[in-house]
């Protein structure tokens, strides 16, 4: 009991008491409050989006005429020049192209982190950029799993506790988050490492843990930004095989950025970006 209380205290030091949970702002690491009262239409609409039917031909993500410009000094740099993409339920889609072509920028726009200069990103028909920043933060935590190239961990927490973080952010009770985290670690073959610190793990093991965390809240979409970019060939292949199994066995929709043509074999849809346009 004492050990559990100690873990709970460490989690609550980062996120506050889970019974009175407030979502942290993942875009700025500042506490935020809903712009509307809890239970409002703004908050509940996230859940409604993901409760659509399971039609395998249903369009999950629709990117419509997305443009993105950056101002550098006196120059207006066009990074994305009118991108149109559709991803259906159960797709394993790869976003590919040379370095600097705009693929990571497009990924961040779809994820709701980087705002487009022009265009829409529709999730089950709903434009995520028509909603508030708070809504998108809740949307990312509750509905989309994210695997970065290099995962960020809270050093004072164990692997299990780090995986449980999205549940705590989402307002679930501490023990529920830990139970779900244990299930996900078992799924990715990392259960034996649950009570280690993340930085004690190899790069390949850390990415498996990142995958477990991305799966915690049963997302309808996994977004992966070059998840094997820092891994050796063996570890990279093992991770890709695991992601492919999830795609096939659970019909999980995957959107992954890569520059490695050897990974194309895992995808049923390849989206190539060159100089800010689809080719």
**Hunting for tokens 């994210």 — which residue is that?**
146
What's the number of domains the chain is made of?
1
What is the chain's mean pLDDT, rounded? 83
- Is the residue at 244 inside a domain? yes
The per-residue pLDDT for 193 is 98
> Which tens digit of pLDDT belongs to each residue from 106-118?
999 999 999 999 9
- In whole angstroms, give the CA distance from residue 266 to residue 276: 24
Going by their DSSP bridges, the two strands 126-127 and 118-123 should be labelled as: antiparallel
- Is the residue at 126 inside a domain? no
The per-residue pLDDT for 41 is 45
What would the DSSP string read from start to end of 171-197? T--HHHHHHHHHHHHHHTT-GGGTTS-
Phi and psi, residue 74, nearest 5°: -100, 5
> Which tens digit of pLDDT belongs to each residue from 209-236?
999 999 999 998 999 999 999 999 999 9
Q: Enter the DSSP assignment of 91.
A: -
The per-residue pLDDT for 113 is 94
- CATH of residue 102: 3.40.50.300
Q: Which residue has the higher pLDDT, 265 or 23?
A: 265
- Is the residue at 166 inside a domain? yes
Q: How confident is the model at residue 276 (pLDDT cuts 50, 70, 90)?
A: very high
The model carries a pTM of: 0.79
Going by their DSSP bridges, the two strands 92-96 and 253-258 should be labelled as: parallel
Range of the domain at 262: 2-16+89-108+145-271
- Is the residue at 185 inside a domain? yes
The per-residue pLDDT for 56 is 53
- Is the residue at 117 inside a domain? no
* Angle in degrees, 0-180, between the axes of helices 174-187 and 159-169, rounded to the nearest 10: 120
């Amino acid at each position: 009991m004492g050990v559990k209380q100690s873990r709970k205290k460490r989690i609550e030091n980062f996120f506050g008491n889970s019974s009175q949970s407030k979502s942290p702002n993942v875009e700025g690491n500042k506490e935020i409050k809903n712009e509307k009262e809890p239970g409002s239409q703004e908050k509940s609409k996230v859940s409604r989006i993901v409760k659509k039917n399971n039609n395998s031909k249903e369009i999950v993500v629709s990117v419509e005429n997305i443009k993105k410009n950056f101002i550098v000094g006196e120059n207006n740099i066009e990074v994305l020049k009118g991108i149109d993409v559709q991803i259906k339920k159960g797709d394993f889609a790869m976003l590919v192209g040379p370095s600097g072509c705009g693929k990571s920028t497009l990924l961040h726009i779809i994820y709701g982190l980087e705002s487009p200069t022009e265009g829409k990103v529709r999730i089950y028909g709903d434009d995520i950029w028509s909603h508030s920043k708070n809504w998108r933060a809740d949307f990312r935590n509750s509905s989309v799993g994210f695997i970065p190239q290099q995962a960020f961990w809270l050093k004072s927490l164990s692997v299990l506790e780090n995986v449980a973080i999205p549940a705590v952010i989402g307002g679930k009770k501490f023990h529920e988050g830990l139970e779900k985290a244990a299930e996900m670690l078992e799924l990715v073959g990392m259960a034996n490492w649950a009570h280690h610190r993340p930085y004690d793990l190899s790069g390949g093991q850390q990415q498996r843990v990142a995958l477990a965390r991305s799966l915690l809240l049963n997302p309808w979409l996994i977004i992966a930004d070059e998840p094997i970019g820092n891994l050796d060939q063996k570890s990279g292949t093992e991770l890709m095989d695991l992601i492919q199994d999830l795609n096939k066995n659970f019909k999980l929709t995957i959107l992954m950025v890569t520059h490695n043509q050897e990974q194309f074999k895992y995808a049923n849809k390849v989206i190539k970006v060159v100089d800010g346009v689809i080719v």
